[in-house]
Structure 1
Amino acid sequence: MEMKKKGKAASSLLVGLGLLVMLGACSSKTTGGGATTAEGNKPAAKEGNVAAASDWAEKNGLNKTETTDELYAKAKGEGKVVVYSQSSRIKDVKATFEAKYPGVKVEAFNMSTNDIVEKVIREQGAGIYNADVIFVKDAIGAVTTELTTKKLVHKYIPKDLSDKMVEPYKSKSSGLVPYFSLRAIFYNTDVYKTSPITNWWDLTQPEWKGKVLLNDPIDSADMMDLFLAMVQHSDEMKQAYKDKFGKDIVLNGTENAAYEFIKQFLKNDPVLMKSSDEVVEAVGVSTQGKPPIGIGASSKLRDVIEKKLSIAATYDVKPKISVVGPSYLYVADKAPNVNAAKLMIRYMAGEADGKADGFKPFNVMGSWSTRIDNGRTDQPAIDKLSVWDYDSDYFYKNFVKFREFWLKMQ
């Protein structure tokens, strides 16, 4: 396995920068061409448009708690619900939802987070309101910055659901988060009884040269979020270095311990893969005497039994395991089937009793429910995870700087 060449990564960089510019341009159209911010390259939403969107949300009861029967009666009149989903598992939701609620068809579109953000901005900028439910992660803070702040999507968290949720998802979230996942360190259980990695700095050592597999953060927003969290908490990466080596870190042309870690990590020749599926399969079926370590989506643990993988994730890593990756449910602005949207969000969040089939496809090993009544018991409890919080504002403001550093170091 060889590391991807810089040319491909640079191409991805250009695509990403193009998307960023396009998002800004489309946002300007969406908001009526509002004035630019002090940063000079990010259009500010017109207050009038944001207020109008907020009025629409209030008039359509997004701040209310209605019963399932009330919503279903109205949803049958609408006839369908359109979902833009970041997960292919939405097909399972479609099947059970339509069986439970005859007369309400589900039109589900499975797309990447970037594609969802782009599509919503383009459509609403053109006055097209097609989507009802947006199911998405806040990749590098783009959803919060480009969608929620500008009221292209709306928060909907009924009280009978929020009463069962833990903080910060109970009252401090921009949307309903039914669960979150992580970027986890995977190891082969045929060779290792416990994880050989207990400190992120372990991955910079000669014994792991060319033996760490991960998604390229230039192509994977979730992977980039993990590195951005390290940069944000560089003081903790500094302490982790001292914990590992027994001495203070000496920076070699980098601005902090996190960037120094990334520099040394890249010098150790990690192998960049296209997907977490490739990562976990390569680690879990390896026949090498010393199999590789993988960094990938924790939710891939659901494949262990199905694909007969000899793999596990480690939950004891200094300074933190990872950064949380919340998955959000929103009602799209001016959703044409708003009652069906509310019904679907309740369904995917488990409903009031936490038992609705709509949550089952996501209640898998490596994902953590944000509720107190329907989480898994075969993995560490949500309050036992040593993780960094997701800071959308920091990630959005710093991802270009990180990306340039990553490409320069390759």
Structure 2
Amino acid sequence: MSRNKSLRGKLTLVAIVVLMLVMTACGGNSKESANASEGAESSPSSSENGSSDGNAAPDSDNPNAQWALDVGLDKTETTDELYELAKKEGKVVVYSQSSRIKDVKASFEEKYPGITVEGYKMSSPEIVEKVIREQESKVWNSDVIFVKDSSGSVSNEMIKKGMVHKYLPTDIQSTMMEPFKSSSPGLVMYFSVRTIYYNNEVYDEPPITNWWDLTDPKWKGKVLVDDPIQSSDTMDLFLSFVQHADEMAEAYKEKFGKEIVLDGTDNAGYEFFKQLFANDVVLVKSSDEAVEAVGAKGQDNPPIAIAAASKLREVEEKGLKVGASWEVKPRLSVKGPAYLYVTNEAEHPNAAKLFIRWMAGEVDGTGKGFEPYNVSGSYSTRPNVVREDNVPLDQLKLWDYDSDYFYNNYVKFREFWIKSVS
């Protein structure tokens, strides 16, 4: 595979913008639908009565804050109250960055007969582009979006323009860890991290302990990564290297025993990527593709991959020979929060609220709706939800997510990346 292959022939930034402007505001029919038969025959058991205290009020600078108040996004109703209202609406439409939405759909419809979930799988950048297009055209297709911040575009565009709203019931909020409890722009179910995968049939221990190891000639043409132009998680990790260039410079000195010398780059973060490209990094379509290539049995000289830690859930199922690195200098990864929002002018706001509660795992985070996301390699925002097969959170060195920095530096890094692979 050529390192240029995945971006050869891509539209320029200007062309992409023009294309976005002329696209129609169609619905989600062309996306992968998670729809199945409506409802189930079992009756919902009575859930605990939640608090009726008010949630945090919508942001005062949100131009559509009044709509959010009108539909009660500042309230914490009981699930019984919401169910009665949601049954009258009949369905909830969800745009999801995860294909596991089909599992949430199944459990929700079993729990709440009479409410159909229409779930559509898209990448986070696709969700952002689609919702902005629909909202600007006053097309109210979706009720809930399950999305990553996509380099700050949700926080800095969609929220500030009132296209999406936070729904964070107080009974759920009170059980969350900081900073998700008090300063999050939306309800965060869990956060993900990236890691470096290696073939544990060949290597008894992680061969990479410093990010600069990837620039070593021994790994030339053998480092796989999903394209950050297509993956917001990878983009946010790479922007973290640039943001924390001082730490990258220290890691360079620790590995090579000398101060870093920049070769026409702005800082040690950009220099890292320049050297990574010089080492023929290989771009792939997804973390799945990368991990499967690393973990295939019977290899003598396998590649390594930068990919989502949550792919560990598939290792046994697919019979892969894969290990993951958890201690990489200067830090392993950046926290990647996964957000749930109610879209502005949602046609089914009560079903949306009920669905968000369900998907978040209800009050303590252990409900069935959260089960598909409570997997190895992902971390719940509820301190009581801890997986024994995860490395303890306090043992991981992670950067915090900085939506403003990512948003303000995305275009510059994107142009650098495209120029480097073209």
Which residue of 2 is the match for residue 357 of structure 1?
368
Q: Does 1:126 align with 2:124?
A: no
Q: Does 1:117 align with 2:128?
A: yes
* 1:165-207 C-alpha deviation (Å, 9 max, x unpaired): 1111111111001011122110111122221100000001111
Contact 1:12 1:219 in 2 (8 A): no
Q: Distance in 1 between matches of 2:395 and 2:277?
A: 31
Q: Distance in 2 between matches of 1:51 and 1:188?
A: 49
Which residue of 1 is the match for residue 4 of structure 2?
4
Q: Distance in 1 between matches of 2:288 and 2:62?
A: 43
Q: Does 1:391 align with 2:402?
A: yes
Amino acid at match of 1:208: W
Which residue of 2 is the match for residue 341 of structure 1?
352
Q: Distance in 2 between matches of 1:390 and 1:305?
A: 30
Which residue of 1 is the match for residue 101 of structure 2?
90
Match of 2:185 among 168, 174, 180: 174
Which residue of 2 is the match for residue 381 of structure 1?
392
Q: Distance in 1 between matches of 2:231 and 2:95?
A: 19
Amino acid at match of 1:92: D
Which residue of 2 is the match for residue 263 of structure 1?
274
Q: Distance in 2 between matches of 1:231 and 1:153?
A: 29
Match of 2:247 among 236, 247, 256: 236
Which residue of 2 is the match for residue 210 of structure 1?
221
Q: Distance in 2 between matches of 1:398 and 1:13?
A: 20
Deviation at 1:20, TM superposition (A): 4.8
Which residue of 1 is the match for residue 206 of structure 2?
195
Which residue of 1 is the match for residue 292 of structure 2?
281
Q: Does 1:249 align with 2:260?
A: yes
Q: Secondary structure of 1:180's match?
A: strand
Amino acid at match of 1:2: S
Deviation at 1:3, TM superposition (A): 2.3
Q: Distance in 2 between matches of 1:372 and 1:300?
A: 22
Q: Does 1:227 align with 2:225?
A: no
Deviation at 1:251, TM superposition (A): 1.2
Deviation at 1:250, TM superposition (A): 1.1
Contact 1:13 1:218 in 2 (8 A): no
Q: Distance in 1 between matches of 2:290 and 2:312?
A: 12
Deviation at 1:320, TM superposition (A): 0.7
Q: Distance in 2 between matches of 1:335 and 1:375?
A: 34
| Structure 1: unaligned runs, 5 residues or longer | 27-48
Amino acid at match of 2:414: R
Match of 2:194 among 162, 165, 183: 183
Q: Secondary structure of 2:189's match?
A: strand
Percent identity over the alignment is 59
Contact 2:201 2:297 in 1 (8 A): no
Amino acid at match of 2:2: E
Contact 1:23 1:146 in 2 (8 A): no
Q: Does 1:320 align with 2:331?
A: yes
Q: Does 1:54 align with 2:52?
A: no
Q: Does 1:104 align with 2:102?
A: no
Amino acid at match of 1:4: N
Deviation at 1:365, TM superposition (A): 1.0
Which residue of 2 is the match for residue 43 of structure 1?
none
Which residue of 1 is the match for residue 86 of structure 2?
75
* TM-score, normalised via structure 2 length: 0.87
Q: Does 1:406 align with 2:404?
A: no
- Identify the range of structure 1 (377-386 vs 273-282) with the bigger mean alpha-carbon deviation: 377-386
**In the TM superposition, what are the counterparts of 1:12-31 in structure 2 within 5 Å?**
12=10, 14=12, 17-20=14-17
Deviation at 1:387, TM superposition (A): 1.0
Q: Secondary structure of 1:12's match?
A: coil
CA gap of 1:85–1:124, structure 2 versus 1, over 3 A, is same
Contact 1:280 1:296 in 2 (8 A): yes
CA gap of 1:58–1:405, structure 2 versus 1, over 3 A, is same
Q: Distance in 1 between matches of 2:297 and 2:406?
A: 34
Amino acid at match of 1:12: K
Q: Secondary structure of 1:139's match?
A: coil
Q: How many corresponding residue pairs?
A: 386
* 1:115-136 C-alpha deviation (Å, 9 max, x unpaired): 2112212222222212111111
Match of 1:370 among 374, 378, 381: 381
CA gap of 1:143–1:22, structure 2 versus 1, over 3 A, is farther
Amino acid at match of 2:179: P
Q: Distance in 2 between matches of 1:12 and 1:393?
A: 27
Deviation at 1:110, TM superposition (A): 1.2
Q: Secondary structure of 1:140's match?
A: coil
Deviation at 1:22, TM superposition (A): 6.6
Contact 2:148 2:232 in 1 (8 A): no
Q: Distance in 2 between matches of 1:260 and 1:50?
A: 39
| Structure 2: unaligned runs, 5 residues or longer | 24-59
CA gap of 1:394–1:20, structure 2 versus 1, over 3 A, is farther
Q: Distance in 2 between matches of 1:276 and 1:180?
A: 16
Q: Secondary structure of 2:3's match?
A: coil
Amino acid at match of 1:193: D
Q: Distance in 2 between matches of 1:375 and 1:102?
A: 31
* 1:39-62 C-alpha deviation (Å, 9 max, x unpaired): xxxxxxxxxx96551011122221
Which residue of 2 is the match for residue 309 of structure 1?
320
* 1:319-366 C-alpha deviation (Å, 9 max, x unpaired): 110112111000111111111101000101000132211101111111
Contact 2:62 2:160 in 1 (8 A): no
Match of 2:76 among 56, 65, 68: 65
